[in-house]
Amino acid sequence: MAEPQLTVRDLTVRFPTTRGVVQALNGVNIELEKGQMLGIVGESGSGKSVTAKTLMNLLPRSAEVEGEVIFEGNDVRKLAAEGREHFWGVEMTMVFQDPMTSLNPVKKCGEQIAETLRYHLGRSKKEALEEAVDLLGQVGLPDPAKRVDQYPHELSGGLRQRVVIAMALACQPSLLIADEPTTAVDVTVQRNLLNLLDRLREERGMSMILITHDLGVARGRCDDVAVMYAGRIVERSDTETLFSDSRHPYTDALLRSIPRIEQPSHTRLEPIPGRPPELINPPEQCAYAPRCRFAQADCLEAIPESQGVKGMHEFACFHPANTDRGREALAANVAAGETAAGLPITGYAGGAA
């Protein structure tokens, strides 16, 4: 098999802070084939954005990074050390949740795109502006010839995000990383933006990493989905399998906790108890153990390694959901009334509490 376009191996990121060292990423592994759309889902603080920023070389200097990031044969961290500024923004680009992260409020939209083209690709001023109009048209901005002369504040949030997408695509990247690109917009706008990204990705054969906390977005749009928890990818597989036959108890619990449109009103939800762990001095145990309904004694003694079929369906858990081992663990906990971590589970596992 050909090398994947992107390989992330054992990525670890630590932030020294006054309260202690934050272990933001603890051995993240990612493989991405060319043209693929990978979704990364997880709660606030799980490490989605740190992963993206590491790829984009946007971490603060204080960050301590270990591990490998290989993109189309290049060691990305070496490129960073060599100061290769025409890699980011050209080969690999990023779209953020807030379009104003990328836009300059006092510059016309067209100029900003043109600047990208001039800086990275050495286009003349005139060429660059013409291309900008063309790009704005490609991202579905109505009346692009007029929009190039508008300032960001003259546009709605959805249109601004389109300008940012145009800018990210200007230099024909082969990987686009989008970090919660539609979290701040309404559902009708979200649908249009995601449709646009789908179309552009197909037309250009571009790969994409879509970071989202919205499981529905990942399910609807991605080929593969990785679930992050406490700085690790705890489960990854093709989208269909992840949502229909999940293995990690966290994935399983997340899917049960969200209200679904087809359920009748007042369906009792099954929340995940507790909250995500501190990332300072985490204990040597499964990070999900304190909240996990499956947890057994072994979960408190070691960090589970990734298992399953590499590149197909991988998960890091000693007692995976939807397996005999998982069912046994759950039955034992229900019988005991609590998990090995002391989480009461009577009346919880059955649903209606």
Partner 1 sequence: MAGTGRAPLRDDPNVLVTVTDLEVEFPVGKGAVVHAVSGISFDVAEGETLGIVGESGCGKSTVAKSIIRLNSIKSGSVDYQGHDLAQLEGEALRKIRPDLQMIFQDPISSLNPRRKIRDVISEGLAVWGDEQGSWSQDRIEELMLAVGIDPKFGDRRPHQFSGGQCQRIGIARALALDPKVMICDEPVSALDVSVQAQVLNLLEDMKQRYGLTLLFISHDLSVVKNVSDRIIVMYLGKACEIGNADELYENPRHPYTRALLASIPEPAPTVDPSDGDIEGELPSPINPPAGCRFNTRCRHATDICYREEPVMQQVGDQDHYFACHHPVEVAVGL
Ligand X SMILES: Nc1ncnc2c1ncn2[C@@H]1O[C@H](COP(=O)(O)OP(=O)(O)OP(=O)(O)O)[C@@H](O)[C@H]1O
List binders of ligand SF4 among 232-251 (CB under 6 A).
249
How are beta strands 307-309 and 313-315 bridged, if at all? antiparallel
Q: Does 304 bind ligand SF4 (CB under 6 A)?
A: yes
Q: Minimum Å distance from CB 339 to ligand X?
A: 25
List binders of ligand X among 80-119 (CB under 6 A).
none
Q: Does 14 bind ligand X (CB under 6 A)?
A: no
List binders of partner 1 among 40-99 (CB under 8 A).
43-44
Which of partner 1, ligand SF4, ligand X, none binds 159 (CB below 5-8 Å, type-dependent)? partner 1
Task: CB nearer to ligand X: give 52 or 92.
Answer: 52
Among 40, 21, 19, 16, CA closest to 30: 40
Task: CB nearer to partner 1: give 172 or 267.
Answer: 267
Both tokens of 52, joined, read 């993206």
Please, which residues bridge with residue 26 across strands? 12
Q: Minimum Å distance from CB 292 to ligand SF4?
A: 3
Q: Does 262 bind partner 1 (CB under 8 A)?
A: yes
**Residues 95 and 102 sit within 8 Å (Cβ to Cβ):** yes
Q: Return d(Cα 313, Cα 244) in angstroms, integer.
A: 12
Residues 6+ apart with CB under 8 A from 293: 249, 253, 330, 333, 339, 343, 345, 348, 349
Which of partner 1, ligand X, ligand SF4, none binds 220 (CB below 5-8 Å, type-dependent)? partner 1
- Provide Rg for the chain, Cα atoms: 22
Q: Minimum Å distance from CB 186 to ligand X?
A: 19
Q: Return d(Cα 218, Cα 227) in angstroms, integer.
A: 10
**What helix, strand, coil percent values describe the chain, rounded to 5?**
35, 20, 45
Assign 168 to helix, strand or coil.
helix
Q: Does 318 bind ligand SF4 (CB under 6 A)?
A: yes
Among 2, 41, 42, 49, CA closest to 24: 49
Q: Minimum Å distance from CB 232 to partner 1?
A: 16
Q: Does 158 bind partner 1 (CB under 8 A)?
A: yes
Residues 6+ apart with CB under 8 A from 214: 41, 183
**Phi/psi of residue 136, each to 5°?**
-60, -35
Helices within 170-291 (DSSP H only): 187-204, 215-221, 239-244, 249-257
Q: Does 228 bind ligand SF4 (CB under 6 A)?
A: no
Which of ligand SF4, partner 1, Mg ion, none binds 49 (CB below 5-8 Å, type-dependent)? Mg ion
Q: Does 249 bind ligand X (CB under 6 A)?
A: no
Q: Does 22 bind ligand X (CB under 6 A)?
A: yes
Which of ligand X, Mg ion, partner 1, none binds 30 (CB below 5-8 Å, type-dependent)? none
Q: Does 51 bind Mg ion (CB under 5 A)?
A: no
Both tokens of 231, joined, read 């700085």
Q: What is the DSSP letter of 338?
A: B
How many helices (H) and strands (E) the chain has is answered by 11, 12
Binding residue (CB under 6 A) for ligand X from 26, 29, 49, 102? 49
Residue ranges binding partner 1 (CB under 8 A): 43-44, 142, 156, 158-159, 186-188, 190-191, 194, 213-217, 219-221, 253-254, 257-273, 275-276, 353
In the complex, which residues of this chain contact ligand SF4 (CB under 6 A)?
Answer: 249, 286, 288-289, 292, 294-295, 299, 304, 317-319
Positions touching ligand X (CB under 6 A) are 15, 17, 22, 24, 42, 44-50, 60, 213, 279
